[in-house]
Amino acid sequence: MAALLMMETGDNMAGMVSRTATSMRDDAALVARAAAGDTRAFEALYRAHVDRVYGLCLRMTGNVGEAEDCAQEAFIQAWKKLGKFRGDSAFGTWMHRIAVNAVLGRIRKSKREQDRIQVAAEMGSSPASIGDSGNLRDLSDAIDRLPEGARHVFVLNAVYGYTHEESSDMLGVAVGTTKAQLHRARRLLAQQLEEQGFEA
């Protein structure tokens, strides 16, 4: 379902899906070896998935340092939980779930969200816009300024193509909440971007 949805989401997604399709079997073999304690196999999994895991962490936190910590924590947790990975979903999707948990756990723990928003506002261009250009950089910055809940839902739904059911499951909230947050995110983004004369 997630794979089908992602196929409709533009070139970068399509590339990712085709790569995922060809590497899923490789992932399965690597997971089996890593679960048996082979750290080289786990490193190969890390190399294959780190950009996508880090990308999600960066989009959700909007902070390079926190995103690095969350991505590291996600891989450490994944190593510990490899024995529980049954292969019902792709390894990349499983990693995304763990990464979302790492981000939410870190936010709960640090309670530095307010500081982060202030710092991001002071810094102007947010580090989350790395990898984007032109108008997309404006959009990326605007996403980073969204309130936490709205930002998380928008990143998962609009940027990564997860369904409301999948996002609500990952974030541990009701489907109605993700729908309301997505609506709120779009409204706030439109307001911000209109002020900047953004053209999609």
Partner 1 sequence: MNERRDDKLTAAARQLATEIKPQRDLWPDIERAIAAPEPRRSRWTPMFAQAAAVVLLVGASSGLTYLAVKDDRPVVITQPTPEYTFERASFGSSYTLGRDYLATRADVVARFEQQVERLSPAERQDVERSLEVIRGAIDDINAALQQDPDNTLLQDLLMKTYHEELNVMRKVGGVTQSVMSRRDI
Binding footprint of partner 1 on the chain (CB under 8 A): 9-10, 12-13, 16, 39, 42-43, 46-47, 50-52, 54-56, 58-59, 64, 67-68, 71-72, 75-76, 79-80, 109, 111, 130-132, 135-136, 139-140, 143, 154, 158-161, 186, 189-190, 193, 200
CA distance 122 to 107: 20
Burial 127-137 (b: 16+ CB within 10 A, else e): bbbeeeeeeeb
Compute CA 168 distance to the chain's CA centroid, rounded to the nearest angstrom: 14
Q: What is the DSSP secondary-structure string of 18-81?
A: HHHHHHHHHHHHHHHHHHTT-HHHHHHHHHHHHHHHHHHHHHHH--HHHHHHHHHHHHHHHHHH
Residue 77 beta carbon to partner 1: minimum distance, rounded to whole angstroms = 10
Nearer to partner 1, 123 or 190 (CB): 190
- Please state, in angstroms and rounded to a whole number, the distance separating the CA atoms of residues 61 and 144: 8
12 or 118, CB closer to partner 1? 12
Give min distance, CB of 189 to partner 1, in A. 6
Q: Is 82 exposed, middle or buried (0-12, 13-18, 19+ CB in 10 A)?
A: buried
User: Which two structure tokens, joined as six digits, stand for 129?
Assistant: 């816009």
Minimum CB separation from partner 1 for residue 165, in Å?
Answer: 18
For the bound state, the minimum distance from the C-beta of residue 2 to partner 1, rounded and expressed in Å, comes to 13
Least distance in angstroms from the C-beta of 13 to partner 1: 7
